[in-house]
């Protein structure tokens, strides 16, 4: 009984972790794009 609940919790936890890593990768992609845009913008303003 306890072991089956534990395995259920672990499977849910791994699912949450995989979704979290997916969100973090998308977030870093968005942040990387913003930093590239900001770098180009500062270059334009510098000129």
Residue 29 confidence (pLDDT): 85
- Tell me the per-residue pLDDT of 1-47, one tens digit each, with 9 for 90 and over: 789 999 999 999 999 999 999 999 998 888 887 877 788 888 888 86
Question: In this predicted structure, what is the pLDDT of residue 20?
Answer: 94
CA angle 30, 14, 9 (to 5 degrees): 140
């Amino acid at each position: 009984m306890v072991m089956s609940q534990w395995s259920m919790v672990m499977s849910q936890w791994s699912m949450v972790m995989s979704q979290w890593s997916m969100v973090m990768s998308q977030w870093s992609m968005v942040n990387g794009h913003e930093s590239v845009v900001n770098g180009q913008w500062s270059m334009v303003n510098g000129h």
